[in-house]
Amino acid sequence: MKSIVYNQEGKEIGEVLLPKEIFDVDINTDLVHQVAVSQAANKRVVLADTKGRGEVRGGGRKPWRQKGTGRARHGSRRSPLWRGGGITFGPTSERVFEKKINRKMRKKALFMVLSAKSKGNLVVVLDSIKLEKPKTKLMAGILKKLPVKDSFLMVLPQTEKEFFKAARNIANLEVRKASDLNVLDLLSSKYFILPKEEIKSLKETFLKEE
């Protein structure tokens, strides 16, 4: 699978051969969907939390005696029937949304999404990326010259912290290390921007023998 290589000025300067094991695999949409749903569920944070009758305050004594008052019998003011009492079947922080997907399935789904982007000409390979200073303006200037629009995910060298500083405030741009790539982030972005040197990082990360 070949891809055009661009320089920082947005000009075509050649081609590069992308590893077919990553960028040219058959696509199984059911597997991609399963992995994407699991990753979205694993990122979910439980916010809503209600108290049951055993957690609310009060109710230390019986509201009134059992018989002889003409009123319905009650044993505690913490009952869900009372105002200020516990909540019946309310949401709690103990809920677990985590879904387990094994490593091989995650890897296969990742390759499928990368293959789909490659076949759709949504993979943009940069010859190299250099910044004089870690400034957002400089990074934004590079992106404007590339054939990308809408939203994009860029893989950057994990040792170059100034790249991450320069890119973190740009709208519609997500930055990841090669080892942190995942299906959900790729599906959330239209274009995949890859410096040429990071192709080796992808191969070392995902194609090494297990």
pLDDT in tens, 5-46: 999 898 999 999 999 999 999 999 999 999 999 999 999 888
Q: How many CA atoms lie within 13 A of 147 on its CB side?
A: 12
Instruction: Report how far apart the first and last C-alpha atoms of the chain are (Å, whole number).
Output: 25
Bridge partners of residue 173, in order along the sequence: 152
The count of structural domains within the chain is 2
Which amino acid, one-letter code, is at 61?
R
Let me know: does 127 contact 13? Beta carbons within 8 Å.
yes
Both 53 and 66 in a single domain? yes
Residue where a domain terminates, one of 32, 63, 96: 96
Largest CA distance in the chain: 95
Q: What is the pTM of this model?
A: 0.81
Q: What is the pLDDT of residues 149-198, one digit of tens each?
A: 889 999 987 666 778 888 888 988 999 988 899 999 999 999 999 999 89
Is there a single domain that holds both residue 108 and residue 73? no
User: Residue 153 sits in which domain range?
Assistant: 2-43+100-206
